[in-house]
Structure 1
Amino acid sequence: MTNFLVSLLTTVARQVKDNFVHKTCQTDAVQEQFLRKLLRAYQNTEFGREYGLSDIKTIEQFQKQIPILPYSSYEPYTERIARGETNILTADPVVYLAITSGSTGKKKTIPTTRRSQNVVRAATLTSIGFLSEALARQKLQFGKLLVTNSVELGGRTSGGISYGPASTGVLRMDKRLYKQFFANPYETLQPGDSLTRHYVCLLFALREVSMRGMIANFPMLILRTSNYLERYSSDLIRDLEQGTIAPWLELKPEIRALLEQQWSASPKRAAQLQAILKSEGRLTPKLVWPNLSFIAAARGGTSDFYFERFPTYFGDTPIFGAAYSSAEGMFSIYPDINQDGSVLAIESSFFEFIPEDQWEAEHPKTLLATEVQPGKLYRILMTNYNGFYRYDIGDVVEVVGFYEQAPLIVFRYRRGGLLSSTSEKTTEFHATQVMQALQQEFGLPLEDFCITLSENEFPAHYLVNIELATGQVLNNPQAFLASFDSKLKQINLYYGSKRPDQVPAPRLRILEPGSFAIVRQRQLQRGVPDSQLKFPHISEDRNFLAGLRVEQEVRLPEDLV
């Protein structure tokens, strides 16, 4: 029955995808229709009356009448919504408040309505339709997948509205749909403790020998799940063999009882895994699930750095970006596996693009979806059913082509996330490209990295803080640092033009093992949900890595004089 439901839902997903593809041939018309319908639906909200939405008849009038606004302009409205006031930004009742992670800035509160959730569901089905067809072309199958996201609520506001991470709201509101695709029971997502949740998710999924996929918000989280599988392999095998659920897990009695009702011994599967562990010395996803067809995780931004380590765990298993989205809305949908470009989600929001030469303008001119050009960077604006209008999230995207009339975009970096010793403006995308190339050049997988600036100096030195992957040794650290300097000059021309006259030589710091685990734990302690954890790879906060032990600091010859 379960396989039948997955097959049925996949058929529906392909139909939704076909409809989306048809609409990409009429991108301008679809976008205009979306905007008209939204303005009509929300014209009598407080925001709608304040900005005269009912008077707007054209896109040009909309652009002239509604200012480009950051989140800070919406915060007074969202605070009132949290207190229970209605008809503020949305005419539809707010049923959930998505709280952003705050890992790259201040936390934000995003209203979610049934209508905005319907938009997310349609985009998700479109994504599944694309994925299932892409896998079929490779003679691979779509099927059950491992999910580890938490469904634990953050709480309720004074107005009685549930709040928490965006993914929690999505999974809870469409529980009946999504659980059909899970290799692990929905109840495994309930534990609040991250290790406990990952352990029980893995435990149940290990019984699904034919599991097809793994999904997480970011590739770093996929690597963490793989690490848990390796680290707790003996415990997992023991529980499979004996039909137990490890007593040391931090499980509430009621959740443990629900899980135990669905759990039983699987000695045959335990024996299979024990044989793999004995012959290979470790358990990896590809070894324990030989039919694994895909990994779904965010592409673009810093993802390529983490993808460098994927072959160790997954071989050549295809990587699918699924969708580029945030708590504020859906930006784009991936049409294929192993591809960075994703199709603008033209049915999810009304989009505008600010060209690079307009970024500093007080009233920047914007382009529509069909007016952008491949190879150029843009700030992306969205207007959608979450109640945001011409909203500037700060994301910088690159247009890499077109899918029919809809642009293919790649997230590059968050504007404002810049590192400058003087004024060279190194972005996270620059840094990630360099570190990815260095891993390849030196055949050296890194656990992670973060570039910061030296203290009490102007101009400051770049501090290239790295942690080597387990068992790795950097034999020529000075050559590594010199190559970093050379590659950054090529990738960031502003850095290249200011080195060495204005920007001093970078310095390499090799941190002791476990350093970045400490940094991530600090972020979790600040309240960042583990499924939303985004690790910054550049930081102007000179105390960001404070307290970590430096095993070795390396300087270039010019810096030793």
Structure 2
Amino acid sequence: MKFIKYFSLMKLSTKNRKKNTFIHLFLAPTMLLKCDPTDTEAGIRLLEDLTTNANQVQQQVLKEILIQNANTEYLNTFLDGHASEKLFKKNVPVVNYEDIVTYIERIANGDRSDIISAQPIIELITSSGTSGGQPKMMPSTAQELDRKSFFYNILVPVMNTYVEGLDQGKAMFLLFIKPEINTPAGLVARPVLTSYHKSSHFRDRPFNKFNVYTSPDETILCSDSRQSMYCQLLCGLVQRSEVLRVGAIFASAFLRAIKFLEDHWRQLCLNIRTGQLTDWITDPSCKNAVSLILSKPMPDLADLIERECIGISWEGIIRKLWPRTKYVEVIVTGSMAQYISTLEFYSGGLPLVSTMYASSECYFGINLKPLCKPCDVSYTLLPNMAYFEFITVIEDHDEKMQEKVHCNGKSEQKNGINEEEWIKSKIVDLVNVKVGHYYELVVTTYTGLYRYRVGDILMVTGFHNNAPQFRFVQRRNVVLSIDTDKTSEEDLLKAVTEAKLIIESLGLLLTEYTSYADTTSIPGHYVLFWELKKRENTEQLPELDLIVMEQCCYRVEESLDSVYRRCRRKDKSIGPLEIRVVKHGTFDALMDFCLSQGSSVNQYKTPRCISSQEAARVLDSRVVARFFSKKVPSWEPFRIEANKLMSDMHRAV
């Protein structure tokens, strides 16, 4: 069957366009759609087609995956060579990484047979390794880069719909790579963003008005993250008058860049004043690329930047240094939400835009309302990217949600059936999810993952046409636990956010935090590591009032769920919560440690719970003050039981 490119639809008459677009979607093998980012109208039309026909597109995606891969070793075990959706849903198990790691290891070690994919595996994509332990390796094919290119291109029409004039300037996006490693068989293993940025799809992209960056490719592709950061910031400052948008992939990476700027702005100003790059930038490609931008002394620009940076406070520094900026593009959902207040402080009220939802396994969906408030961000899953299924999760953060969300992948009994059968009974397709319900995401990809549990818990917030929209809630395997309590990442974020209100009223900022369950004492207790700073531009540790910090400890505990509060008050199986304040730069040191263990600078997210003893020692060695909760949180069993009764009644109705 001949492949029909999407842009051929531009030639269709308006009268027949919708009908023919629909036909096109199902004529194109492998669903490799094309999107011209310069044609906003066509891009939005394609999104409308995909979301309107979400169910049909999903059926086509699964059909193509099964036809292509039914005879692979893995699928043949369950399908006996039949590309049957019915057999797929009946026989193919829902799996965790531990269930398929032996297949991945065979590929890494050189087995070239069709183990999980009929298409050649050209590389292995490594996960960040900060949420659940060591980095995982995900298979990838050449066609997957085409899907990623489509994904990035389709974001442009959406932004152009909401923000005018983005073609009149440049983007200061701080992008980084991590040096790849080679498996025993010679396959490259690297993070997903490194894969894309080092591919021809990125290097040979057409330099049109929508992808002009202040950072030369050579600075992005520099393997030394410190030199890369310095050069990208320098280029962004020199071209400040042309910058219309700034950002990075994650909020944490962008704030790390702001901290880097705080530490190096004097040296950057000296480079701009003299027109000479600093001596410690030794990467030849970086030096040559930056020299074309830093082509002459610019003392007036250096004076301007110096006046802004030398001020008492860096509040609104992004607007001051890049005055034409329309928004900050960073992911601020999930664990990144705790950075919102700090980003707002530095950005001076600029919109914080989370454009996409993606992972090492697959690219999932986009935000169709990019200028919404961070708390309102929902992602519309694009039905052509993979086949999506969802494990229903009961909405009850006291005990039942944790009861239903399994993190260890082991079989256990559920009313007489094992976990696998129970999970299959709870699975629904993309278009059959319900608004307000919680689900765990399961994907089947073109690259060899089948009914794979990504580990993300999502809540359905609505629909765009027939495609559901999801709010990211949490990772299912990130929890604190001492006794019967199970505190999720989302619960911890909410509690810390409540406690932050106390210190923010005193002019302090919580710039980073993490936690761990300290079981060395009896009873064990929760420990939070906090890095604080004054709102003024200073690295001096603020003076901390004992009573205020004890109130913060208590506010965290009071904001945690009923199980935790019961264990603290009634069972006395959990001790008082502790906050350990660490000195400035501690979380940079934690990141450096994680990077040394194999994490990627692009994908790194500060872990909200740590289990590594080495990581704990990095933090403990920098503790300057410790505070404990002096009050026991409240617990009202009657209120809890009443809420449970109302919840049960609601579900029964």
* TM-score of the pair, normalised by structure 2: 0.78
Of 153, 158, 165, 1:130 maps to 158
Post-superposition Cα deviations, 1:336-384, rounded to whole Å, max 9, x if no partner, equal 2234211112111111111125545332120112222233322110011
Distance 1:449 1:456 in 2: 21
Deviation at 1:482, TM superposition (A): 3.8
**Pick aligned residue for 1:285 from 318, 321, 331:** 318
1:77-117 deviation digits (Å, cap 9, x = unpaired): 22232344253322222233211221222211122212112
Number of the residue aligned with 1:506: 577
Specify the alignment match of 1:162 in structure 2: 188
1:524 equivalent in alignment to 2:595: yes
Query: In the alignment, is residue 201 of structure 1 matched against residue 242 of structure 2?
Result: no
Cα distance, 1:482–1:241 mapped onto 2, change above 3 Å: closer
Q: Is the 1:478–1:554 contact (alpha carbons within 8 Å) kept by the matching residues of 2?
A: no
Change in Cα spacing, 1:166 to 1:445, as seen in structure 2 (3 Å) is: same
Q: Among 19, 23, 29, which residue is 2:46 paired with?
A: 19
Corresponding residue of 2:386: 349
- 1:498 partner letter: C
Match of 2:55 among 28, 53, 58: 28
Classify the secondary structure of the residue corresponding to 2:259: helix
Residue 373 (str. 1) matches residue 434 (str. 2): yes
Structure 2 residue corresponding to 1:88, chosen from 100, 115, 132: 115
Are the structure 2 counterparts of residues 369 and 210 from structure 1 closer, same or farther at C-alpha, using a change threshold of 3 Å? same
Output the amino acid matched with 2:339: Y
2:342 is aligned with 1:273: no
Q: Using the alignment, how far apart are the partners of 2:198 and 2:541 within structure 1?
A: 42
Is 1:57–2:126 an aligned residue pair? no
Corresponding position of 1:192: 223
**Alpha-carbon distance between aligned partners in 1 of 2:55 and 2:603, rounded to the nearest angstrom:** 33
Match of 2:257 in 1: 225
Change (3 A) 1:505 1:64: same
Letter in 1 for 2:229: H
Equivalent position of 2:524 in the other structure: 460
The answer on whether the counterparts of 1:14 and 1:128 sit within 8 Å (CA) in structure 2 is no
Question: Structure 1 CA distance, aligned partners of 2:344 and 2:168?
Answer: 20
8 Å contact from structure 1 (residues 329, 386) kept in 2: no
Partner secondary structure for residue 42 of structure 2: helix
1:548 Cα deviation after fit: 2.0
SS at 1:520's partner residue?
A: helix
Query: Shift of the alpha carbon at 1:122?
Result: 1.5
What is the alpha-carbon distance in structure 2 between the residues aligned to residue 13 and residue 47 of structure 1? 41
Larger Rg over CA atoms: 2
SS of the residue corresponding to residue 499 of structure 1 reads: helix
Structure 1: gaps of 5 or more residues? 1-7
**Residue 589 of structure 2 aligns to which amino acid in structure 1?**
I
- d(CA) in 2 for partners of 1:13 and 1:169? 27
Q: Is the partner of 1:81 in helix, strand or coil?
A: helix
- Do 2:54 and 2:383's aligned partners in 1 also have CA atoms closer than 8 Å? yes
Number of the residue aligned with 2:138: 110
* Aligned mate of 2:629, from 550, 556, 559: 556
Q: Who is 1:473 aligned against? A: 542
Deviation, 1:226, is 1.4
> What CA distance in whole angstroms lies between the structure 1 residues aligned with 2:290 and 2:77?
51
Helix, strand or coil at the partner of 2:363: strand
Q: Which moved more, 1:406-415 or 1:263-272?
A: 263-272
What is the 5 A alignment of 1:147-546?
147-173=173-199, 174-175=201-202, 176-177=204-205, 180-208=211-239, 209-249=241-281, 251-261=282-292, 263-265=294-296, 267=298, 268-277=300-309, 284-337=317-370, 338=372, 339-357=376-394, 359=405, 361-363=419-421, 364=423, 365=425, 366-443=427-504, 444-469=508-533, 470-471=539-540, 473=542, 475-502=544-571, 503-541=574-612, 544-546=615-617
Deviations 1:147-192 (A, max 9, x none): 3333454133343333311101111222222863322110111322
Q: Distance in 1 between matches of 2:517 and 2:178?
A: 38
Alpha carbon RMSD of aligned pairs, Å? 2.7
Preserved contact between residue 355 and residue 366 of structure 2 (Cα < 8 Å): yes
With over 3 angstroms needed to count, the CA separation of the structure-2 counterparts of 1:140 and 1:188, relative to structure 1, is: closer
Rounded Cα–Cα distance in structure 2 between residues aligned with 1:164 and 1:390: 23
Q: Deviations over 1:507-549 (max 9, x none)?
A: 2222233322222221122121222211112235566422423
Deviates more, 1:275-284 or 1:179-188: 275-284
Shift of 1:144: 2.3
Distance (Å, rounded) in 2 between the aligned partners of 1:190 and 1:264: 21
How big is the shift at 1:53?
6.9
Secondary structure class of the residue paired with 1:463: strand
DSSP-derived class of the 2:463 partner = strand
In 2, the alpha carbon distance for the partners of 1:336 and 1:118 equals 25
Quick check: 1:221–1:531 contact (8 Å CA) kept in 2? yes
Q: Is the 8 A contact 2:245 2:328 kept in 1?
A: yes
Aligned to 1:73: 99
SS at match of 1:367: strand
Match of 1:101?
128
* Mapped partners of 2:311, 2:576: distance in 1: 47
Greater shift in the superposed pair: 81-90 or 271-280: 271-280
Equivalent pairs, count: 548
Instruction: Output the CA distance in 1 between the equivalents of 2:387 and 2:168.
Output: 31
Q: Secondary structure at the match of 1:111?
A: strand
**Match of 1:374, SS?**
coil
Say whether the 8 Å CA contact 2:178–2:600 is kept in structure 1.
no
Unaligned runs of 5+ in 2: 1-34, 395-403, 407-418, 534-538, 633-653
Counterpart AA for 1:272: L
- After superposing the two structures, state which structure 1 stretch, 506-515 or 168-177, moved more: 506-515
The 2-side partners of 1:438 and 1:314 are apart by 23
